[in-house]
Amino acid sequence: MTIERALAPARKRFSLVARVSSDNPSAVKPVLERLFAKQGKIEPIEGGFEIGGVLEGETARDLNRALLSELRRAEKKTRLRAEWTSESTVEKFFDYVPKGTKSLRK
């Protein structure tokens, strides 16, 4: 699944804060620029980037999977630690694996 396909249904807005690390950051940078340069942030860090932005899709899992797949097409040894926030729910992922869901409501 491509990131464009995951974005197509556009049912919910998700705010993304993530750390992308890669054995070849220059290979994944064009992918990040295409997706986040206009409406997000891309900050270089040691071995990768910190990124942030807003994407629309059906679920955080679908968006996370599409983003990581797109990055790994550019460089196989790429890792993604991501937090996707929609409404009052934060979903955390390490690569494709969900690492928990937290409600922001008290």
pLDDT of residue 4: 63
For residue 83 the two structure tokens come to 């937090």
Give me the mean pLDDT over the 3-26 stretch: 83
Q: Report the alpha-carbon angle 72-77-82, nearest 5.
A: 65
pTM metric for this prediction: 0.86
Q: Which CATH architecture has domain 3-99?
A: 2-Layer Sandwich (3.30)
- Going from N- to C-terminal start, the domains of the chain cover 3-99
Give the tens place of pLDDT for each residue, 79-103.
999 999 999 999 999 999 999 999 9
Give the tens place of pLDDT for each residue, 23-62.
999 999 999 999 998 889 999 999 999 999 999 999 999 9
Q: Is the pLDDT of residue 8 over 60?
A: no
For residue 79 the two structure tokens come to 């890792």
